[in-house]
Amino acid sequence: AQKVTQAQTEISVVEKEDVTLDCVYETRDTTYYLFWYKQPPSGELVFLIRRNSFDEQNEISGRYSWNFQKSTSSFNFTITASQVVDSAVYFCALSVNTGGFKTIFGAGTRLFVKA
């Protein structure tokens, strides 16, 4: 069975602090995809990144970076120099090829960035 665990329910930081959101996944499949989504207060989930299981390269996009480590089954997300606009719920998700790449979401981490 597949599972995604986001152990941090809520995180509160002050603007300009760096913050890391943890994501641990479980799957026996060798081919899988990992995602991060952002859900701002408006409610609409927004896609941030996709990683496949064969690509362990870390990725940086502006203030966002992702650390994928198969050895620890983790796909962590770091926001550098956080801003108030980063306040949102962030979801980590896993897709495996069972009946068409069903996606399993973690419970989400609510990030508060205070000015």
Partner 1 sequence: DVKVTQSSRYLVKRTGEKVFLECVQDMDHENMFWYRQDPGLGLRLIYFSYDVKMKEKGDIPEGYSVSREKKERFSLILESASTNQTSMYLCASSTQGAPGAQYFGPGTRLLVL
- Chain residues that interact with partner 1, rule: CB under 8 A: 4, 6, 9, 33, 35, 37, 42-47, 50, 52, 91, 93, 95, 99-108
Secondary structure of residue 102 in the 3-state scheme: strand
Backbone angles phi, psi at 56, to 5 degrees: -95, 10
Q: Which is nearer to partner 1, 19 or 94 (CB)?
A: 94
Q: Token pair for residue 56?
A: 């362990």
Q: Which is nearer to partner 1, 28 or 44 (CB)?
A: 44
Contact 21, 86 (CB under 8 A): no
What number of other Cβ atoms are within 10 A of residue 46's Cβ?
11
C-alpha–C-alpha distance, residues 89 and 99, integer Å: 28
Nearest distance in Å: CB 5, partner 1 = 10
Q: Which is nearer to partner 1, 68 or 106 (CB)?
A: 106
Q: Which is nearer to partner 1, 4 or 19 (CB)?
A: 4
Nearest distance in Å: CB 100, partner 1 = 6
Nearest distance in Å: CB 102, partner 1 = 6
- CB-based burial of residue 22 (10 Å sphere; 0-12 exposed, 13-18 middle, 19+ buried)? middle
